[in-house]
Chains A and B, each alone.
Chain A
């Protein structure tokens, strides 16, 4: 739908919704005399309901409740929850549980990243409207992708009890641990998936990536020994390096007039990017030799600043997660304690873990009975929302010669670079592009 006012020379375009991103929000863009005057995005609804819902409930209930915040990344919510609780109780988990938590996170990265690569992001690059059309054209590739994704789900199910909203995760460890044979049955499929993911990486590396370089402040966990999932310090490419307990002293959420959602920013600074690109740039040295070789082979810049290339980095992270899963499964032994004893005490616990989409912050205040007095949850999509707006400004400036249809497509693609959470957010994104004094192209 398009209409043009003769008086104001303002052009407004509306599209029904931004497919493949569920969001009840909208994107409003106003361009005047070749300058981007306004970019207003609202796609994300933070989990304030859950923060309130958790108050007064036992710490034992929290992992199963927070898992319901997101259908795509329940493990991330569970992991941030249990680590924050354990910090509040002054607990340190044993190494075998630490590794199993990495393993279940591997499953989630595999299934979430492959979903995004194959079903949500690849259609943008191939200029097809959706995954169904993609499957008609590249049936074998989609089938292979879904097979890799299923493996991620099966890792979660093997350890979590079921693939959607795992029920085996608890503060202190797991309710029970599977027999080694259950894990070993996955190994051949993991080796196959490593090769299949290499092929997927090769395929996406041939896409036509729009030229764009953005001077991001990347924020992620960093770890001195391994690619981070659950542990480490929060670091940024602008020199930040803090323990996770310092998150709220360095980041803040602000109300913006055009949205009910809160926008995160660095205190005293501005937007930042969390997610695969930030993790990769700050932690690539911890990737496996084979994964690093793929980075080199496909010319992925270790200081990558082009958000369209995030699709390659997701594929790299899938390769890494598969190799990490193989390593953990090979070292797994039966007859270990599934969890440590919990002795609740009053305290405040903090955690940041690396959800597929980036840093997921939790803070819980617990009383001496082990009941939750307050909860704060800041998901990665909430943190990236301001950054997406800033990206869109630059995208629109650099793509202003495109036709409006092309520009609309480019804006949608730029938003999908972030893999905004399709479950935490609500539905329908209306895109309104308003141009004043700008000749019509195309």
Chain B
């Protein structure tokens, strides 16, 4: 097994379900401190491309998705699937993953692999509580993340 994958938590803990990334990251750091490299990011996409360049990256974040139910766990391979990821409506970190990927491609600053794992959010209102639906998704998200490290070649991209 090569370098550890980078678990990149996004979101703002003061915007209810947007805090999912940090909650997951803290749990993973406590229970599996050596499984991943851990990093929290809450700024602009331009900085994101500097953080992920050349690495195997798993982003954890709350997802806004009009066609899926709150709490549903989402697992996306943006580099393979060329998906139009849902645009976050009230993100306070201004993340637009599509833009970051597109900019990274132009500037040749891409991660070696990229996976997005999260849950469909129910609320981005101010507050520090995750919604019940998103809280209930946490065990499944953690299981999804652990399964990624069990893959021999981190073959998610």
Q: Which residues of A contact B (CB under 8 A)?
A: 22, 24, 49-50, 53, 68, 71-72, 115, 119, 130-132, 135-136, 139, 142-143, 146, 149-150, 153, 163-165, 422-424, 426-428
Contact status of A135 and B14, CB under 8 A, knowing A22-B94, A150-B50, A164-B41: no
Do A164 and B42 touch across chains, with their CB atoms under 8 A apart? yes
A150 to B44, CA, bound (A): 12
B90 adjacent to chain A (CB < 8 Å) = yes
Interface residues of B in 79-126 (CB under 8 A from A): 88-94, 99, 102-103, 106-107, 126
Q: B46 touches which one: A68, A146, A165 (CB < 8 A)?
A: A146
Q: B89 touches which one: A71, A136, A428 (CB < 8 A)?
A: A428
Do B90 and A422 touch across chains, with their CB atoms under 8 A apart? no
CB neighbours (8 Å) of B41 from chain A are: 164
Given known contacts A424-B92, A426-B89, what 5 new A-B pairs fall within 8 Å (CB)?
A68-B13, A71-B43, A72-B43, A146-B50, A423-B94
A163 to B47, CA, bound (A): 10
Give the number of chain B interface residues (Cβ < 8 Å): 26
A174 to chain B, nearest CB (A): 21
Do A422 and B94 touch across chains, with their CB atoms under 8 A apart? yes
Do B44 and A132 touch across chains, with their CB atoms under 8 A apart? no
B38 adjacent to chain A (CB < 8 Å) = no
Sample 19 A-B pairs with CB under 8 A, ordered by A number.
Answer: A22-B91, A24-B89, A50-B14, A71-B12, A71-B42, A71-B43, A131-B99, A135-B106, A139-B107, A142-B106, A146-B49, A149-B46, A163-B43, A164-B41, A164-B43, A422-B94, A423-B43, A423-B94, A427-B91
CB neighbours (8 Å) of A71 from chain B are: 12, 42-44, 92-94
CB neighbours (8 Å) of A428 from chain B are: 89
CB neighbours (8 Å) of A165 from chain B are: 42
A72 to B42, CA, bound (A): 8
CB neighbours (8 Å) of B47 from chain A are: 149-150, 153, 163-164
A426 to B100, CA, bound (A): 19
Do B50 and A423 touch across chains, with their CB atoms under 8 A apart? no
Contact with A along B109-151 (1 / 0, CB 8 A): 0000000000000000011000000000000000000000000
Interface residues of B in 45-103 (CB under 8 A from A): 46-47, 49-50, 88-94, 99, 102-103
CB neighbours (8 Å) of B106 from chain A are: 132, 135-136, 139, 142
Do B126 and A49 touch across chains, with their CB atoms under 8 A apart? yes
CB neighbours (8 Å) of B99 from chain A are: 130-132
CB neighbours (8 Å) of B88 from chain A are: 427
CB neighbours (8 Å) of A146 from chain B are: 46, 49-50, 107
Do B103 and A131 touch across chains, with their CB atoms under 8 A apart? yes
Nearest CB to that of A70 among chain B residues? Answer: B92
CB neighbours (8 Å) of B43 from chain A are: 71-72, 163-164, 423
CB neighbours (8 Å) of A68 from chain B are: 12-14, 42
Do A135 and B44 touch across chains, with their CB atoms under 8 A apart? no
Contact with A along B16-51 (1 / 0, CB 8 A): 000000000000000000000000111110110110
List of 7 A-B pairs having minimum Cβ-Cβ separation, nearest first: A49-B126, A135-B106, A71-B43, A132-B102, A71-B42, A422-B94, A71-B93
Contact status of A423 and B93, CB under 8 A, knowing A71-B42, A164-B40: yes
CB neighbours (8 Å) of B127 from chain A are: 49
Nearest CB to that of B47 among chain A residues? Answer: A153
Nearest CB to that of B92 among chain A residues? Answer: A423
CB neighbours (8 Å) of A139 from chain B are: 106-107
Do B107 and A72 touch across chains, with their CB atoms under 8 A apart? no
CB neighbours (8 Å) of B50 from chain A are: 146, 150, 153
A341 to chain B, nearest CB (A): 31
CB neighbours (8 Å) of B13 from chain A are: 68
Do A422 and B107 touch across chains, with their CB atoms under 8 A apart? no
Q: Residue among A72, A132, A153 with the most chain B CB within 10 A?
A: A132
CB neighbours (8 Å) of A424 from chain B are: 92
CB neighbours (8 Å) of B14 from chain A are: 49-50, 53, 68
A163 to B14, CA, bound (A): 19
A130 to B14, CA, bound (A): 29
Q: Residue among A131, A150, A164 with the most chain B CB within 10 A?
A: A164
Contact status of A115 and B46, CB under 8 A, knowing A68-B13, A143-B107, A146-B107: yes
Nearest CB to that of A149 among chain B residues? Answer: B46
A153 to B43, CA, bound (A): 11
Contact status of A426 and B94, CB under 8 A, knowing A115-B46, A131-B99, A132-B102: no
Do A426 and B46 touch across chains, with their CB atoms under 8 A apart? no
CB neighbours (8 Å) of A132 from chain B are: 99, 102-103, 106
A134 to chain B, nearest CB (A): 9
A317 to chain B, nearest CB (A): 18
A143 to B103, CA, bound (A): 10
Do A119 and B44 touch across chains, with their CB atoms under 8 A apart? yes
B32 to chain A, nearest CB (A): 21
